[in-house]
Chain A
Amino acid sequence: MSAMNGASSLVASLEAAGVDVMFGIPGGAILPAYDPIFSSSIRHILVRHEQGAGHAATGYAQVTGRVGVCIATSGPGATNLVTPLADAAMDSVPVVAITGQVPSLAIGTDAFQEADIRGITMPFAKHNYLITDPADIPRAIAEAFHIASTGRPGPVLVDIAKDALQKMTDFNYPTSVSLKGYQPRTITCAESITDAADLIAQSSKPVFYVGGGVIKANASRELFELAQLLGAPVVTTLMARGAFPDSHPLNLGMPGMHGTVAAVTALQKADLLITLGARFDDRVTGKLSTFAVNAKVIHADVDPAEIGKNRFADVPVLGDLKHTITALIPALKESLAKNRPDLTPWLRQMNSLKTTYPVGYDIPTDGSLSPQYVIERLGKISGPQTIFASGVGQHQMWASQFISYEYPRTWLNSGGLGTMGYAVPAAMGAKVGAPDTTVWAIDGDGCFQMTNQELTTCALNNIPIKVAIINNESLGMVRQWQTLFYEGRYSNTNLESKRVPNFPMLAEAMGCIGLSCDRPEDVDATIEKAMSSDNQPVVVDFRVNRDAMVWPMVAAGTSNDEIMIARETAPDWGSQEL
């Protein structure tokens, strides 16, 4: 125990929690904390917008599996964190946000830069604190890290009144955390494992429906073993790309609104969904009442509230997925020894769909650049170790579809909230967490204009990320919906971003290398040029055809059975008896 002010106690607590980096911007209410930060072992990266700090913390957490930390002042600093914290909540990312608050006596008086950030974040934060007594700081920080990183991970906010940072206190970091109302279940109950194994051994059309939880639980290796053991097809959701290698013959790709025909159909026609860390999101299920109507459901998750939320679980399996899958492997071996159904007809059907309907695209006949081609080449040339972070829109779907993900934590995106502006700051955080790995942001021209200011942060702090702008001069995903559902009335989706801004010049202005490319024959050379400079951020303006669309597509609110592989074109189901 030692005497110090609340600010020093905060920084000592963050050090004790193992923080090595945080992203933030100072201001009045948090200023006392910035003094001890100045001499702390923690690297503080001064961002240009608090939203960037929040997404950077998320990117860092998604790549490292550790808690990401962001810090901001009261009022506008704190409210600028709202979007990234909501984003982290939807995608279950462990993030701790520290905010300064006006002095405790001023709270509730509409003081300068007062915002009730605890109240504002209450609906989505996993938990949050308002600290007015400096003695509470170490415990709040210890609890925040514990809550953010255990069970189903999520964002926790600690709001600290300025006077609590200034007053003297005794620093005493708790050695353990015990919370009466928070005890996430880690060990999976043996009975549910046996029931799951027995049900699997009775199924002739099982599918592994794999969600982001497998990556969070670091259970990819276990999943690999389980999938090999059963030999059943695997689908990986948008949040789970990389949880199971795309190159594996059992992998049918991504299910959902823009999923592959094989993945969508496998879920629809299965007699059993082996659901691992997925949550039956509407973008995956389509119209829920018509989703996988003949399937029984095993639902394994660490969050009890997810099990049975959208879809009844015949066998609920509550617990940490790493433990669950590890326990399921021997149990399944035992069940299969008694009864091993022949999965060959099912696999043959799914493989035929996979080969008949791979994700593909048309090369524009006018010689213009195809966005899918650019993204495909980025994946091929950069290789499977590369980390990709995408924005939200068409380019996001293509980045999921046309890059082969082989390892967990190599694909970062905003899946749940769909936050435009995620890519650049998330890539920044990812590069800080994995400095020796190539990190590409694949961003839209719209998304890029929301958060590109963090390229300045990257340039000044030696964070050499690479950004591929898929410049279709429009809010492409919205434009696609206007094409399909609003008779091509393109209301407010034309960004004109082939005229303004000049992206390479903008990049150069922020201390990055700016490149551009608009011919298919230059794509490889441009990517290689971007790959060759590793001490400065690089931005490439890929000027692509604006009319490309994302296919396949299940229109919102319709049944997965109505999947389209191109405009007004359903797959030819022919004599496929599924």
Chain B
Amino acid sequence: MAQHTLEVIVENSPGVLARVAGLFARRAYNIERLSVGPTSNPETSKMEIVVNLDGHVLEQVIAQLDKLVNVISIIEILPDEVQPIVHDTQPDYQN
């Protein structure tokens, strides 16, 4: 399985980290690495989440993450390429 890095922009509100961490825990997805930091906008924070998941499961993680009301956007950071993959979590078909 390949590592994937998700850059998740969230509302800077209390409990957001618990919501994200709880989602991974209850759906039994493992987090390899997680960091949270500020963005230039004080109303949002940026999470970088590294997961060891592929394909369908990765899509599910992203879809479930996107359902959190405090999650604004999810971008997959690709190490080798310039263009990040923007996941709008709808099946690819709908993009």
A residues lining the B interface (CB < 8 Å)? 118-119, 122-123, 126-127, 130, 147, 179-182, 185, 189, 191-192, 303-305, 307-309, 312-313, 315-316, 318
- Beyond A123-B22, A305-B66, A309-B63, 10 additional contacts (C-beta under 8 Å) are A118-B15, A119-B18, A122-B19, A180-B11, A181-B68, A303-B67, A304-B89, A305-B64, A316-B94, A318-B91
Closest Cβ–Cβ distance, residue A494 to chain B (whole Å): 35
Among candidates B11, B14, B56, B90, residue contacting A304 with C-beta atoms closer than 8 Å: B90
User: Which residue of A181, A308, A312, A318 contacts B72 across the interface (Cβ within 8 Å)?
Assistant: A181
Chain A residues whose C-beta falls within 8 Å of the C-beta of B60 in the assembled complex: 305, 308-309
Q: How far is the CB of A119 from chain B (nearest CB, A)?
A: 7
Cβ-defined partner of A308 (8 Å) among B14, B22, B59:
B59
User: With contacts defined as CB atoms under 8 Å apart, how many contacts are there between chain A and chain B in the complex?
Assistant: 60
Q: Separation in Å of the A38 CB from the closest CB of chain B?
A: 32
A122 to B16, CA, bound (A): 10
Number of B positions contacting A (CB below 8 A): 25
- Residues of B close to A191: CB separation below 8 A: 93
Choose from A180, A182, A185 the contact partner of B90 (Cβ within 8 Å): A185
Given A123-B22, A181-B71, do A308 and B91 touch, yes or no (CB 8 Å)?
Answer: yes
The answer for the CA separation of A309 and B19 in the assembled complex, in Å, is: 20
B2 to chain A, nearest CB (A): 20
CA distance A127 to B68 in the complex (A): 7
Q: Using a CB–CB distance below 8 Å, which chain B residues touch chain A?
A: 10-11, 14-15, 18-19, 22, 26, 56, 59-60, 63-64, 66-72, 89-91, 93-94
Q: What's the nearest-Cβ distance from chain B to residue A270, in Å?
A: 21
**Do most interface residues of chain A lie in helix, strand or loop, or is the interface mixed?**
loop
Between B56, B67, B68, B72, the greatest number of chain A beta carbons within 10 A of the residue's beta carbon is seen for: B67
What's the Cα separation between A122 and B18 when bound, in Å?
9
Q: How far is the CA of A147 from the CA of B70 in the complex (A)?
A: 12
Q: How far is the CB of B16 from chain A (nearest CB, A)?
A: 10
**A-B contact list, 24 entries, CB within 8 Å:** A119-B15, A119-B18, A122-B15, A122-B18, A122-B19, A123-B26, A126-B69, A180-B72, A181-B68, A181-B69, A181-B71, A304-B94, A305-B63, A305-B89, A307-B91, A308-B59, A308-B60, A308-B91, A309-B60, A309-B63, A315-B93, A316-B90, A318-B90, A318-B94
**A564 to B81 alpha-carbon distance, docked (Å):** 55
In the assembled complex, how far is the CB of residue B47 from the closest CB belonging to chain A, in whole angstroms?
13
Q: How far is it, in angstroms, between the C-alpha of A12 and the C-alpha of B63 when the chains are bound?
A: 36
Contacts of A123 in B (CB 8 A): 22, 26
**A147 contacts B22, C-beta separation under 8 Å:** no
Within 8 Å by CB of B69, from A179, A185, A316, lies A179
The 7 closest A-B pairs by CB, nearest first: A305-B63, A316-B91, A127-B69, A181-B72, A182-B69, A180-B72, A304-B90
CB nearest to B65 among chain A residues:
A305
Given the known A-B contacts A130-B15, A318-B91, A318-B94, are A304 and B63 also in contact in the complex, defined by CB atoms under 8 Å?
yes
- Check A130/B69 contact, CB under 8 A, given A305-B64, A307-B91, A316-B91: no
User: Nearest chain A CB to B77's CB is how many angstroms away?
Assistant: 20
* Chain A residue with Cβ nearest B23: A123
Q: B10 to chain A: which residues have CB within 8 Å?
A: 181
For B11, the chain A residues whose CB sits under 8 A away are 180-181
Q: CA A38 – CA B69 in complex, angstroms?
A: 33
Contacts of B15 in A (CB 8 A): 118-119, 122, 130
Q: How far is the CB of A117 from chain B (nearest CB, A)?
A: 12
Nearest residue (CB) in A for B92 is: A316
- Structural contact, A304 and B72, CB atoms closer than 8 A: no
Interface centre among A118, A122, A147, A181 (most CB of B within 10 A): A181
Give the distance in Å from the alpha carbon of A318 to the alpha carbon of B63 in the complex. 13
Q: Which residues of chain B come closer than 8 Å to A312, judged between CB atoms?
A: 56
Which residues of A are found within 8 Å of B89, using beta-carbon distances? 304-305
User: Which residues from A are CB-within-8-Å of B66?
Assistant: 304-305
In whole angstroms, how far apart are the Cα atoms of A315 and B91 in the complex? Answer: 10
- Which residue of chain A has the shortest Cβ distance to B89 in the bound complex? A304
> In the complex the two chains form, what is the Cα distance from A126 to B60 in whole Å?
17
User: What's the least CB distance linking B74 to chain A, in Å?
Assistant: 10
Inter-chain contact B93/A316, CB cutoff 8 Å: yes
CA–CA, A122 and B19, complex, Å? 7
Looking at the complex, which one of A118, A181, A308 makes contact with B70 (CB distance below 8 Å)? A181
Distance of A312 from chain B, by nearest CB (Å)? 8
Kindly state the separation between the CA atoms of A312 and B57 in the bound complex, as whole angstroms: 12
A315 cross-chain contacts in B, Cβ below 8 A: 93
